[in-house]
Structure 1
């Protein structure tokens, strides 16, 4: 059958794997064609399936996509003019969803749904300025006779099932050479990872680097005997010219278009010809690509295609028109090829359109920038129109705005209007490359220097494409966001980004509200940014506002002269204050009762403007008081007795609150002063409704019916701020909420000062205030009346304060527990009330939309409660539980979740294991999902509570049970590596004093302790343990590691510890016996030090004989590890000591390839100058397989590096 005119069915494959599977399905193979069209470049197999004569073609090796598919069919039609229909059969990426349970080996058949097409080309469409890329949508459905056959075959399968396994096994029995590649893989290798689990950029297999941790996987039940396996799905197939490897873009297209499968050729056929697409699923269209299922998936798709042809009578196909005879079809093919090429050029490959927004979102989630726009919006709402114009016209501001590398400091007293003026400046500047940040006393997170760096970095990344490469490189070096960058590297990335931006304006408000613990860091950074800009091509304009506090003034005078300072004196702001007063008195509704009395209006204006002395805040407070005066007698009396200062103003406001509301006002102000985050208005309503001396403590009927009335309790001291916040509800990403803020920083300062009246001052001392807050939280929890089985979201809606109470009560109580007997009583009640204690915890995220957890049956032993109290430092509670008979040596289960030792026994009032997922200390980060056993002594040591450790030891706690030494080294208190910051050193001393040095467990216990001390940087504890004969070479074991102290200390840069270990005999090249354990990505100290960029430690290790080319673990040699992050000085040092510049293996690229992929220009230069092979290819498997350094640089958009490589001879 070599006559080309006899063939009516075309079968197109993209890969050789698909071609093999297709050839295996032929009932009979024929000789190749005798004559082909002159320009036909295809390779064909001819054969028969039933009575159909089939011609099979495969795309050229290495060529994929819609253009190639169209070209193959074009040549086929020239040589085989009788072709009447076409099948595109092969593998594709699945699009699993709750609606479609798609698995490896399943088949997807293109079939129209809801009147639409069967193939969706998502990289062909139009781009409109200011709008996202708009795909043109669906392509033509298959012809009617094919759809009829699909339906008939579907009916037959439903009645009898398919026989794919029999078909495939029969083929494999006949040709055993195919078994290894085409047989069905083990079902355990079918893993569907959650969308936020991203395969790292190295070539490591998923089974090794991503693993089978249930927390990373989407759980799916096994298919039963009554279900088809593999299953067949009918619906929409998405096609484009690029492989889909982004799970989030995949999910978006699934949600928007109900896509079942992704592939790369269908759109090239369906828009022109009567075709059907059949795909076997071999991956899930995400970053976890593998070839293990490709052979089997190709077989299942081909088996379905064969069954389909058996369902079609030859006369049905012969009745169809020849494709070549369809009017204009051949000429339209040429047009199609041109259109595809044009579309590819004009849309810049639409996957980038779809992925760029998502990549930006990934960067945003990774950086976690705090939102400054809420502060700006709040200030703009307060700003009176026209205010601040004097500054915009000031010569100093104009100079700052235009002069290269300029600085301006606006300083003024409390209440002078700096923040409002700052908003005027931001509003005046062009938004392009404008970065701004508001330090905010109302939000603890916004008082941190690192928060500012993160916010500015993301703003610049978002606004300036030219500067994005630096942050993308850092993101890549942090395993695509799986690790957080250290602050030093983030600062360096921001500095490098500024260098790439042409010109940048930075505005920082309220430096004095920056946490004093990091203010020196902020001031030093300001100086360095300006200095770097001056000494480079960077053009940065930095403007800051603050009070003239001495440390700020002293630091600024070191790098800026007097011309860079604007003092907000009354003479400068008088016009703004006058305009504001006139607007409030004459135009707002506050004083509408005086609209017909212009003389009274004038009197109010005159007195306030005269006495303002440049103080916006003072004027605003007086106007708030005066607007309540209902007649002139009271108004005139108030005008002649105005307070002179802000302190006196606040004192009068507090004195003016009626006795009936003063207690509630104090309680609300305590929360606003000492809470680490803003309070929502609905939370504040419940705070007021709680009566810690009443019975019941809380009842919803005691709430204020009108939430806004709460502001009347403390007028002028508190303001309501509308915000958008992430929603807990699965159907809404964001929700409009109202936060309550103290009206001004000066309010907080006044309340925390000694200047309050004697009857109020004690209420705002930290201990007293936090005791009151803790009692309010506990009373609220104790009196919630909820039924077992209540969904958590329903609880949050009904009792909005519950989340705050659960997360914060421990942190509040620990400050005051020993001094407040009433608080001790509430804590004892909580521990005694079995309704309020839950042992089942930490099993779901608060953001889960798959299912919402419910209140479970209460439980909790005395020992689990003791462990909880010990870990949280509740000394009196520990004493109480011991007196109640708790066994101090009993081991209880706890769960590692978001804090390093988050006890699985969860406190809450009939609550909410769901909301305890972040624990009472939400600032701590650790491993997720790990369960371990723990004693109360270990918990207390972990907490850093010397007093509780001592109490437990006195009560009989056995130091030999568990490993309290290691826990003390992991102490969660602040001050990493600083013995003075907490009692960790003293705790280790105390534990050693109670430890039998001759114990049989001495080696393992002290080895673990030494390892933890080395890992966490506690050099004093390392030296103490070594002095007590701890073995410097002892191996420590854990669930995810197997290592030695000498291998972990270098990564943190702990030079003193490395030095001490070497001095005590640590082997410099010591590594784990099993370097392939999942946690052992690197094996030697030199590898860790090189990866971490610690030059001095690298030099120390090399001086002590470290093997410069040692390998082990999964990420290559020290040179390879130093190259990726760009530690070029270490690269030079290693090369000078004989490092193999071409070292690479099937898991890790060479140093040059790694540095090129991550855009490390200086490192690439050093490697090239030392003779690195510029055209070497990466060995092994994965997305980087067979690529050169140049190809990697171009793929990662590292054009500067690419130019350097080309200059050194790169040509591949």
Structure 2
């Protein structure tokens, strides 16, 4: 037998492999493709008592260590891991490989069998392993979850995704490794499958009755499972529960799983010891079901299946990617620092010390979460509320029951324009005025006017931020998420945020949540699912009150869980009480009705006529008030009162029709931008919007601005409103559509073509491009923002509008002129906005190099513009941009038609460059099947190297199964 060779340096070993039992180490050692002797120059740390096995699997060198003989559990595991890193600080990734007890639930689709493999996979804020403490039961008998294992490095997670994709295609090599390992075949027979007849899952209520291998256990107590037709083990991915005591009782097992609250698949005893010592992936072969029927029969085979899977997994870890992964020791130092910070925060919170809860720390968390400012919605709504209104609701029996905690949830619904937002503001105000510790009030306004206030994601960011500020005891939960996200260097997932909010809410003894305008949420289905999950919370002190229109989707979604007695219909006669109060006060205080103050009977007449037709529509009344202000004499007033429009739609149509002809163009333009802009616009921006003339010279002249910007409200006052907003440290005046019903009307087919999407998007594109042409490249960013307030919006938004309108001849002409003949405007645009990284702010650096126009047009999906540029001589292979060239940019974003155009005009199909290496790999990584098909049909080189070796590996690493099959079908 040949003597094992010794590598020239211990630095060549980057993978640590830890086992607990000798049989686990034996199985792992048998999987080595080559055994090595101790490397030259290896000096074991004085405190390190480990014994090591050295070797190679594929292209990776591996060092195996195991716990001392006869010792199991978290402490020996921690010692082994610490010693390994002390002697081998160059280790970059780690695997914990061995046996575990399966948590099989075939009735729930989790049919785990003996010999199967469970792999820890991060979920939400959990790194894949949760720790529980069997030695410390709380007074309420809940098990204490003590922590979670850090997530493995990205290189392992990518390998995990790739191997899962391959296994979906039937490409597992586990059986090959089990059957093809001579040392296992000629060793102890226990390393082979132990027979289906010896794999029985008994009911949790049935205890073991004697005999080593359950020979006396009643078969009738076994759970019936669908027979398998192969002994090949299956692989399951999820959470592994780790503790310091053997679990060998089914009832205890199920109790821990239920109380820990994680969707656990397996128990084991070492991973928890590595939490602060060795971030790793845990791989467990299932040798028992963590019940009283536990025995040793399956341990060797389970050790072998886990080791075989680990070997297969390493085949998906790219050597280059491994070398670029930080050392485990460096990751460990960061983890320990973060854990210490969490401990410090928790300790200081308990002792009342608030140094870490300083304004700067709060500001950092708030910047990280970036919640929308919903206080403005509350303030604006309260301004609209007249004293004495909303009392019918605040004094109602159902509301008082909800407020006192006797009723858990309420839904208020009513017709459009009935004043629901004002009602919700009155509720929040009432709750806050009555607020007593430990009550916490949270609120959120979904808002059609602001894209930042239309999603579930933004809602939970706001609620989490409010709860953090209001409930000190809840803060540690958010701090954990903050540290999990590398102290704010990366954003949390929506799932992680929702989970964190639920965990935080448990620390508030009484928590009341008010959500306004569910119908203005852009992702209603997700919101309704979350509300249903919230309703199932066992937190009895958590209460929800929501308002919306009565729409079928909302009614159906809430109807699954909301008791019909917890619904309040906002009836017309109730709102009419508030409308009467509003009218009486407004008619006597608004200066627009000063002319009638000496004739109170006229004011009474106006009030009576409006009340006669209001029918609970607050918004309708507000519009009529604005219209009646223009009646200068009694005849005109009475004629108007007799011809009042019957509905909101008729009201809006009449307002549009009555706009003076000399301001109709400006009014339409204002409504175009306010209806289709994806963010609120300042008054200064809107003032400049109506000055731009794309078809005249000069395109923009600041001397034509309105001398009194506040007078812009006079152009279409009843359809828009002006509000004061806080932007950072500055206060700005914004213009917005007055109500959700206004936007719905303007987007409907009942309005003329000037407000159709194609028309609006085209006009907005041309206005933005014309405005950019007026920006002086020599000025500072501060000067540009002050002198040309529409510049930032124009730079950020024109290309979005162009996507909907570039086929319009005049729009196409404007775009091509901008790209080909306005070099200064083009350079200014590149400095104000980076299309490659749109999340960045203004760049404005003099030396920034913009990519060629063809690159940006390809990246943005402007097909007609791409063709126009190519016809005008644009070089299809020109370098530039984050993706390297136009073809790779189009491939990365899935623009199949543009890819075809570029290829037709001579683009190099195998061009190298950019982050992905080549177009085929870019499309494969991003999952764009049609682009991959086109590139293959045009002769793309399948084996061309890039970020993930070749395209096959890239698509597998990202889990794109269809593309994997497609590449294989084409010879990969």
Class of the TM-score when normalised by the shorter of the 2 chains: 0.5 to 0.7
**Is residue 357 of structure 1 aligned with residue 365 of structure 2?**
no
Task: Tell me which residue corresponds to 2:815.
Answer: 827
Residues 970 and 869 from structure 1, CA distance in 2 versus in 1: closer, same or farther, beyond 3 angstroms? Answer: farther
* Distance of aligned partners of 1:352 and 1:540 in 2 relative to their CA distance in 1, 3 Å threshold: closer
Is 1:753 paired with 2:741? no
1:769-808 C-alpha deviation (Å, 9 max, x unpaired): 1111111101111234x2x531111011000000000011
Q: Deviations for 1:853-876, whole angstroms, at most 9, x for unmatched residues?
A: 867489868xx1211211111222
Report the CA distance between 1:493 and its aligned residue.
1.1
| Aligned equivalent of 1:271 | none
Residue 346 of structure 1 deviates from its aligned partner by 12
Alignment correspondent of 1:792: 781
Equivalent position SS for 1:607: helix
CA distance in 1, matches of 2:677, 2:721: 16
Who is 1:455 aligned against?
A: 462
Match of residue 633 from structure 1:
635
Name the SS for the 2:444 alignment partner: strand
Structure 1 residues 803-882: aligned runs within 5 Å: 803-818=792-807, 820-832=808-820, 833-838=822-827, 856=846, 864-882=852-870
Residues 1:780 and 2:752 aligned together? no
The residue that corresponds to 2:963 in the other structure is: 1021
The aligned residue for residue 223 of structure 1 is none
Counterpart residue number, 2:687: 685
* Match of residue 1161 from structure 1: none
Match 1:742 to one of 712, 725, 737: 737
Task: Go from structure 1 to structure 2 and tell me whether the alpha carbon gap of 1:610 and 1:893 turns closer, same or farther (over 3 Å shift).
Answer: same
In structure 2, the partner of 1:571 is 573
Whole-angstrom CA distance in 1 between matches of 2:894 and 2:724: 40
SS in structure 2 opposite 1:663?
helix
Distance in 2 between residues matched to 1:1006 and 1:460, nearest whole Å = 42
Distance 2:632 2:388 in 1: 30
Match of 2:249 in 1: none
2:923 alignment partner in structure 1: 968
Tell whether the 8 Å contact from 1:409 to 1:566 is kept in structure 2 after alignment.
yes
- Write the deviation string for residues 686-734 of structure 1: whole angstroms up to 9, x where unpaired: 00111122211111011111111111111110000101102xxxxxxx1
The residue that corresponds to 1:943 in the other structure is 893
In the alignment, the residues of structure 2 paired with residue 676 and residue 407 of structure 1 have an alpha-carbon distance, to the nearest angstrom, of 33
Instruction: Give the Cα separation in 2 of the matches to 1:800 and 1:841.
Output: 17
The corresponding residue for 1:582 is 584
Is the CA contact (8 Å cut-off) linking 2:925 and 2:951 kept in structure 1? Answer: no
Q: Deviations over 1:663-682 (max 9, x none)?
A: 11111111111111101110
2:531 to 526, 529, 532: 526
Kindly indicate whether the alpha-carbon contact (under 8 Å) linking 1:503 and 1:540 is maintained by their aligned counterparts in 2: yes
Is 1:373 equivalent to 2:344 in the alignment? no
Mapped contact 2:772–2:828 kept (Cα < 8 A): no
Residue 744 and residue 854 in structure 1: after superposition, are their counterparts in 2 closer, same or farther (change >3 A)? closer
Which secondary structure does the structure 1 equivalent of 2:529 belong to? helix
Say whether the 8 Å CA contact 2:909–2:935 is kept in structure 1: yes
8 Å Cα contact 1:376/1:423 also seen in 2: yes
List per-residue Cα deviations over 1:615-669 (Å, max 9, x = no partner): 0000000000001111111111111110000000000100000111111111111
Partners of 2:348 and 2:354 within 8 A in 1 = no
Q: Residue 907 of structure 2 corresponds to which residue in structure 1?
A: 957
Q: Distance in 2 between matches of 1:405 and 1:1013?
A: 52
| Per-residue deviation, residues 525-580 of structure 1 (Å, max 9, x unmatched) | 11111111xxx244111000000000001111111122111111111111100000
Q: In 2 relative to 1, CA 433–350 (structure 1 residues): closer, same or farther, beyond 3 Å?
A: closer
**Inter-CA distance 353–1002: structure 2 relative to 1 (3 Å threshold):** closer
The separation in 1 between residues aligned to 2:630 and 2:791, in whole angstroms, is 36
Q: Counterparts of 1:144-543 in structure 2 under 5 Å?
A: 352-353=354-355, 356-404=358-406, 406-430=408-432, 432-515=439-522, 518-532=523-537, 536-543=538-545
Q: Which one of the candidate residues 864, 874, 893 is aligned to 1:886?
A: 874
Tell me what 2:36 maps to: none
Higher relative contact order (CA 8 A, sep 6+): 2
SS of aligned partner of 1:800: coil
CA distance in 1, matches of 2:768, 2:931: 31
- C-alpha displacement at 1:835, in angstroms? 1.9
CA contact (8 A) 2:921 2:946 kept: no
Q: Secondary structure at the match of 2:718?
A: coil
Aligned to 2:932: 988
- Rg (Cα) greater in structure: 1
Instruction: Give me the whole-angstrom Cα distance separating, in 2, the residues matched to 1:1008 and 1:371.
Output: 46
SS at match of 1:894: coil
C-alpha separation in 1, matches of 2:956 and 2:488: 26
Task: Work out whether residues 668 and 684 of structure 1, in 8 Å CA contact, stay in contact via their aligned partners in 2.
Answer: yes
Question: Within 2, Cα distance between the matches of 1:645 and 1:841?
Answer: 48
Give me the whole-angstrom Cα distance separating, in 1, the residues matched to 2:830 and 2:817: 21
2:616 aligns with: 614
Q: Could you report, residue by residue, the CA deviation over 1:361-399 in whole angstroms, capped at 9, with x for unpaired residues?
A: 222122221111011111111111111001011011111
Whole-Å Cα distance in 1 between the matches of residues 965 and 348 of structure 2?
Answer: 64
Distance 1:668 1:507 in 2: 33
1:1065 aligned partner: none
1:1118-1133 maps to which residues of 2 (within 5 A)? Answer: none
Q: How far 1:590 sits from its partner (Å)?
A: 2.5
Alignment RMSD, CA only?
Answer: 3.1
**Greater shift in the superposed pair: 1009-1018 or 663-672:** 1009-1018
Distance of aligned partners of 1:420 and 1:351 in 2 relative to their CA distance in 1, 3 Å threshold: closer
- Name the SS of the counterpart of 2:715 in structure 1: helix
Partner of 1:731: none
Q: 1:894 Cα deviation (Å)?
A: 2.2
Partner of 2:710: 708
- Provide the secondary structure at the position in 2 that maps to 1:435: strand
SS at match of 2:726: strand
Partner of 2:602: 600
CA distance in 2 between counterparts of 1:775 and 1:961 reads 34
Q: Which residue of 2 aligns with 1:729?
A: none
**Cα deviation, residue 969, structure 1:** 4.1
Query: Residues of 1 paired with 2:849 and 2:577: CA distance?
Result: 66
Conservation of the 8 A alpha-carbon contact between 1:791 and 1:852 = no
Shift of 1:588: 2.6
Q: Provide the C-alpha distance between the structure 1 equivalents of 2:150 and 2:499, rounded to a whole number of angstroms.
A: 28
CA distance in 2, matches of 1:290, 1:409: 46
SS of corresponding position for 1:605: helix
Count of residue pairs brought into register by the alignment: 621
| Residues 717 and 743, structure 1, Cα contact 8 Å, conserved in 2 | yes
- The 1-side partners of 2:349 and 2:408 are apart by 40
Deviation at 1:603, TM superposition (A): 0.3
> Normalised by the size of structure 1, how large is the TM-score?
0.49
Q: Which residue of 1 aligns with 2:140?
A: none
Deviation at 1:349, TM superposition (A): 9.2
Kept in 1: contact 2:816–2:865 (CA 8 A): yes
- Scaled by the length of structure 2, the TM-score of the pair is 0.61
Note if contact 1:870-1:943 (Cα within 8 Å) is conserved in structure 2. no
Unaligned runs of at least 5 residues, structure 1:
1-200, 205-286, 292-344, 727-733, 896-900, 902-933, 972-976, 978-983, 1031-1212
* 3-state SS, counterpart of residue 880 of structure 2: strand
Corresponding position: 1:647 with 2:635: no
Assess, with a 3 A threshold, how the Cα gap between structure 1 residues 1005 and 954 changes in structure 2: closer, same or farther: farther
Aligned equivalents of 2:336, 2:505: Cα separation in 1: 39
